[in-house]
Amino acid sequence: MNYKIIIYGLACLMLSVTSCTKMTEEPYGLTNTGSFYKTAADAESAIIYAYSVLPEVGYYSRGYYIITELPTENLTQKGDAGPANFELDENRTTSNNSDLDNIWTYMYRGVARANAVINNVPGISSMPEAARNQVVGEGHFLRALHYFNFVRMFGEVPLRTETIADVSQIPMAKSPLKDIYDLIIADLKKAESMIGTNRISEGRANKVAAQALLAKVYLHMASSKASGSAGYNFVDNADALYAEAKNYATKVTSEQSTYAFSDKLRDIWDIEVYKKAAVSEHIFDAAVDRTGEVEGNFSKLPNMFLPADRPMSIPYDVADPSKGLINIGQGWGHFRTESAVYNNYAANDKRKTELIVSTYTNGATTYTLDINTSSRPFTRKFIDPLRVGDKHSTNSPVIRYSDILLILAEASGPTTEGYAAVNKVRARAGLGNLNPTLSLQAFRDAVVDERALELAFEGDRLFDLRRTNTMEKVLVQKYGKSITSGAYFFPIPQRELDTNPLMKP
């Protein structure tokens, strides 16, 4: 009898064993390529994921401003900031700079997400073509935006257009600037043709955004070539590209009604206005909201600018005290406004008087901020009076209408429309018209100077200096900063060099 037990036991054992030897794994709560990209809702979700990288900490909610503003005469950083900030501020970046590593990483995450949309969504046959084109077009827009940032920051980089499924795809060499620009322009033209004109919501690109970005891309190429900026020899004809820039800028300023010039400076930066108005200056923003759960859903960027001393109250409208005070709290005082940009504004420039906070109150006491101490006047472009703790709803503007107006001016040169565009921006700031008899070069220089004041702290200045080949002329000769390395292209992060075998210098 006992032997029967053994035999039965062993038989049962063998049965249960054979059923388990494969040990296949069934994941729980996880999505992957095999189960996704099947429906219209999946496509929508895929493009949302591609957008969602923009306001992350390493990208537009902090990193972008650290990288683009510290090297210029706009911002410096607090004394105990990390060494990477100092390297950027003092233009002596190395491949070990952690801030550059950060933005490199986030931008390539953006590329991977955009590629996932571009490569997978066209295969979703169950959705209407228009809707599919909208999503794929937005994917092209985002990929172009990331590569335009790459090419302006780092120059030649690996041009990834495939979705990575296996480590064997990882080694990839740098592409020449020309190839990168070809992809950017092709992507934006696809975006222009695929995306609708309708503005879906804040934080999403429509056709106008694609056109606006194209104008920016063409202007960058044209002026880089014209000024002899390093790396842009591949451009054949600067004037042809100025014409393209003008062409696309004009489409934005004259052929659409989803965005428009704001007459009041305050309104451009009032969250309640620019987020809710049917038409605003903000052509494309990285969108955030204070109800988000993590930084990246909300923004902490205002804390970077606001001094840390004490909670502050400022007038809602400097020009109209009857509108009362807003409590803007206190920040970390991480960024410090440099005296160069502060002093460049004319005393009556509203962009200084209305958009830079120089005094505040706390209780009954009024405090005046001194541009030469640690707590300095700061921009009020990024302020959320309804902040919840450290959570702010301040979007990070990527392209705004005034930028395109100034592109139109610069691309047009000292023509009637060129003067009209730049003077429109100056008039809003309470300034008179530009000298009407400027030479082409002097006019373009004046527009770039205007951009410096109009777009200060928005991440444009570094690229303007690079494309006009004036990093040394302006930063070193005019403002006494130093440049040791990374003037026109930042060094590629060491982590990439170490892990991508085809990137070895």
- On whether the CB atoms of residues 437 and 418 are closer than 8 A, the answer is no
Q: Closer CB to another protein, residue 99 or residue 349?
A: 99
Considering the complex, what minimum distance in angstroms separates the CB of residue 202 from another protein?
5
Please, are residues 46 and 37 in contact by the beta-carbon 8 Å criterion? yes
CB of 108 to another protein, least distance (A): 5
Decide: 372 and 337 in contact? Cβ < 8 Å. Answer: no
Handedness of CA 193, 197, 198, 204 (dihedral sign): positive
Taking CA atoms, 137 is separated from 107, 119, 122, 132, 316, in Å, by 18, 12, 10, 8, 39
Q: Which is nearer to another protein, 231 or 292 (CB)?
A: 292
CB 62, min distance to another protein, A: 8
| H or E stretch at 396 | strand 396-400
Q: Is 469 left (phi over 0), alpha (psi -120 to 50) or beta?
A: left
Kindly tell me which of 85 and 412 has the beta carbon lying closer to another protein.
Answer: 85
Q: CB under 8 Å to 144, separation ≥6 — which residues?
A: 183, 184, 185, 187, 188, 191, 210, 213, 217
Q: Report, in Å, the least distance between residue 306 CB and another protein.
A: 13
What is the closest distance, in whole angstroms, from the C-beta atom of residue 53 to another protein in the complex?
Answer: 8
Cα–Cα distance list, 110 to 12, 209, 213, 324 (Å): 53, 18, 17, 42
**Closer residue to another protein, CB minimum distance, 22 or 505:** 22
- In the bound complex, what is the minimum distance in angstroms from residue 503's beta carbon to another protein? 8
Minimum distance of another protein from residue 421's CB (angstroms)? 29
Closer residue to another protein (CB): 159 or 421: 159
For residues 286 and 399, the answer to whether their CB atoms sit within 8 Å is: no
Please say which residue, 17 or 347, places its beta carbon nearer to another protein.
Answer: 17
Nearer to another protein, 288 or 425 (CB): 288
Displacement of CA 478 from its chain's centroid (Å): 27
